[in-house]
Amino acid sequence: MVGLVRLSIDPSANPDDYDFVHRIRVRFVETDAMGIVHHSNYLAYFEESRVAYLRHVGHPFTAWRDEGLESPVLESYMRFRAPLRFDDLVDVRLRLGAVTRTTFQMAYLVTVDDAAGEPTACATGVTVHGCTTTAGRPMRLPSWLVELGDRADR
Amino acid sequence: MVGLVRLSIDPSANPDDYDFVHRIRVRFVETDAMGIVHHSNYLAYFEESRVAYLRHVGHPFTAWRDEGLESPVLESYMRFRAPLRFDDLVDVRLRLGAVTRTTFQMAYLVTVDDAAGEPTACATGVTVHGCTTTAGRPMRLPSWLVELGDRADR
Amino acid sequence: MVGLVRLSIDPSANPDDYDFVHRIRVRFVETDAMGIVHHSNYLAYFEESRVAYLRHVGHPFTAWRDEGLESPVLESYMRFRAPLRFDDLVDVRLRLGAVTRTTFQMAYLVTVDDAAGEPTACATGVTVHGCTTTAGRPMRLPSWLVELGDRADR
Amino acid sequence: MVGLVRLSIDPSANPDDYDFVHRIRVRFVETDAMGIVHHSNYLAYFEESRVAYLRHVGHPFTAWRDEGLESPVLESYMRFRAPLRFDDLVDVRLRLGAVTRTTFQMAYLVTVDDAAGEPTACATGVTVHGCTTTAGRPMRLPSWLVELGDRADR
């Protein structure tokens, strides 16, 4: 597809393909008149999970921002497989990949446990990120992130 | 890319490739602590523009819903080229494409006029939609939409 | 009521009590699983209308921000009388009042026209605002706003 | 104040005046270009906490909805004392009060712990709720809620 210049990692529907999981409970405000979670909220779920992941690996996004860095989203992709509903306990799995000197990607799998406790794939997605100063000037990624990407790609 | 099963139309950065334009002014609530519009809001801009387009072609989405039909988003793609800021006057251009019996796609171009009045591409995107009953049962698309797609693809 | 230290102006349900009107069309994303507009969105409607009013009186909020000033919300009150629904054309009327050297208040009336074209009161509200520097230091209000308040209170 | 017909309970700034506490971490999407949490999001925080409280007392809001009941917000009041920022750990305390046969109220206190671990009051608020069928017909409150209110008011 023309225009998809960076987005390249596979948002697998298999939970085993992911390194990290973050649980979110669906808020009522996130539902819409179809009775399901509005699709725009998945980007907020991805973001909350990304922030939890960065904290988990010892590089909280607040520290990143304290150093004057931002991590703007350059591209996003989502596929909606089954709806989420109010009060659902949602697991967002994520995986780092395709780390270059200036960009990184995250793949996401959104699941809800079925009656038997097995995760059901509800959505998958990818976000592509750059790194800039607060003023918007493009920067190289922090070295720890490049190294984390090297390990993830092995 | 694995998983990109449906998303196929090109979200061109050329305004001439689009059929319809809808203007939106950025709300303060849509900005984030980076001082720019949070990326999740573009999906709301696309949706508002899609609704305006359907009204324009004589098939308002309210009529669709009155007939017991929904049009869930199956996939979305966005590429962010330049940030949007509070109070920006944003033009969302859109184009219908890749209409099948059960799905349709919309390509979007988001522009802001520069000082010379020329549209600057800020973002592009694609959404893929299905058609279901209110209860979620998949339906064929309304025939007017298939015909509109046939004309658009010519 | 204890704690209601500043909020003092009356958000009348009579359209004639207001100076300015701004029209907004309800977005689908603003609805919730009750099929109506989620109550939190009214604050975004008030804000969009406030920004339109400041532009109307020749002091756009962007100019305010360019001068390094912010106008934080100190208090808010809302009363929900009748629900708003997807695609409704909503008129937000507002009125400036109770302007002091450091705070001002806005009263709001939200209406939708009935079948006969008469505005039906759907919600009323009040917001109380201060004035600070970008760094959060309290400031006196701009003199034009104090003068505007003096005229409004006459 | 005219129009404040129902809102009557005191949203105290003293944590000891509350029965229940629910912790929320601020999302980046909830911030705005002032670098703080946009005021409209506090209503989502109140709602999430209210839902957690109803689960805690054994009457989850999902059960309420399964019985065909809704609990629309009739009025809301908020006072913003100190800003919330990205990634803050926010404690929302709440208290049920002023329960009648057809309405109930919730008072809220929003705190963030200071460096010494002491809760700092950032906001207070009140919401007033009714009870309706899904179709919007007003209903009496469930008896368990009236009894809960009786105990709370003692």
CA distance A103 to D97: 52
**pLDDT tier at A46, thresholds 50, 70, 90:** very high
Contact B60 C87 (CB under 8 A): yes
Q: Which amino acid is at B44?
A: A
* Region label for D96, one of left (φ > 0), alpha (ψ between -120 and 50) or beta (otherwise): beta
The C-alpha of C124 sits at a distance from chain D's nearest C-alpha, in angstroms, of 9
| Closest residue to C75, CB basis, from D7, D72, D79 | D79
Contact D2 C8 (CB under 8 A): no
pLDDT single digits (tens) D129-148: 999 998 889 999 999 999 99
Catalytic residue, chosen from B10, B32, B113, B153, is B32
How far does chain C reach from its first CA to its final CA, in angstroms?
Answer: 27
Catalytic residue, chosen from A16, A17, A19, A32, is A32
> Do D142 and D130 contact (CB within 8 A), yes or no?
no
pLDDT single digits (tens) A119-144: 999 999 999 999 999 888 999 999 99
- pLDDT at site C151: 84
- pLDDT at site B151: 84
pLDDT single digits (tens) D94-118: 999 999 999 999 999 999 999 999 9
- pLDDT at site A5: 58
- pLDDT at site C5: 58
Strand intervals (E) in D27-70? 69-70
Task: Please tell me which residue of chain A has the smallest CA distance to C33.
Answer: A35
The number of C-beta contacts closer than 8 angstroms across B and C is: 36
C153 is known as an active-site residue: no
The number of C-beta contacts closer than 8 angstroms across A and B is: 83
Reading the block at residue C114, the tokens are 């009935």
Contact A28 C33 (CB under 8 A): yes
The C-alpha of B29 sits at a distance from chain C's nearest C-alpha, in angstroms, of 6
For the residues A87-104, what does the mean pLDDT come to?
96
Q: Per-residue confidence of chain C (154 residues) as pLDDT tens digits?
A: 334 458 888 899 999 999 999 999 999 999 999 999 999 999 999 999 999 999 999 999 999 889 999 999 999 999 999 999 999 999 999 999 999 999 999 999 999 999 999 999 999 999 999 999 988 899 999 999 999 998 877 6
For the residues D28-56, what does the mean pLDDT come to?
97
For chain B, the farthest-separated pair of C-alpha atoms sits apart, in whole angstroms, at: 50
Contact A87 D60 (CB under 8 A): yes
- The DSSP code for D31 is B
Q: Given a cut of 70, is residue D80 above it in pLDDT?
A: yes
Higher pLDDT, D12 or A152: D12
Contact A87 D43 (CB under 8 A): no
Contact C44 B62 (CB under 8 A): no
Contact C40 D39 (CB under 8 A): no
Contact D3 C78 (CB under 8 A): no
- pLDDT at site A150: 85
| C-alpha of B115 from chain center | 26
Q: Strands D89-97 and D73-80: what pairing?
A: unpaired
Reading the block at residue A112, the tokens are 């809800």
Site from A5, A49, A64, A75 to mutate, B interface, most B CB atoms within 10 angstroms: A75
**pLDDT tier at B110, thresholds 50, 70, 90:** very high
Q: Given a cut of 90, is residue A18 above it in pLDDT?
A: yes
CA distance C93 to B114: 32
Residues with Cβ < 8 Å from A24, sequence gap 6 or more?
Answer: A45, A48, A49, A89, A90, A92
Chain C residues with CB-CB distance to D80 below 8 A: 72-75
Chain D residues with CB-CB distance to C43 below 8 A: 39-40, 43
Q: Given a cut of 80, is residue A96 above it in pLDDT?
A: yes
- pLDDT at site C135: 86
Residues of A within an 8 Å Cβ radius of B = 1-4, 7-8, 10-13, 34, 36, 39-41, 43-44, 47, 70, 72-80, 83, 124, 134, 136
Neighbours of B128 (CB within 10 A): 23
Task: Please tell me which residue of chain C has the smallest CA distance to B31.
Answer: C44
pLDDT single digits (tens) D54-76: 999 999 999 988 999 999 999 99
| Closest residue to B3, CB basis, from A73, A76, A79 | A79
pLDDT single digits (tens) A48-83: 999 999 999 999 999 988 999 999 999 999 999 999
Per DSSP, the residues of chain A read -TT-SS------S-GGG-SEEEEEEPPGGGB-TTSSB-TTHHHHHHHHHHHHHHHHTT--HHHHHHTTEE--EEEEEEEE-S---TT-EEEEEEEEE---SS-EEEEEEEEEE-TTS-EEEEEEEEEEE--EETT--B-PPPHHHHHHHHHHH-
Contact A33 C29 (CB under 8 A): no
Reading the block at residue B131, the tokens are 């058609």
The C-alpha of A138 sits at a distance from chain C's nearest C-alpha, in angstroms, of 24
pLDDT single digits (tens) B43-99: 999 999 999 999 999 999 999 889 999 999 999 999 999 999 999 999 999 999 999
Chain B: partners with 3+ C-beta pairs within 8 Å: A, C, D
CA distances from residue C140 to C103, C129, C145, C153 in whole angstroms, order as listed = 8, 12, 10, 19
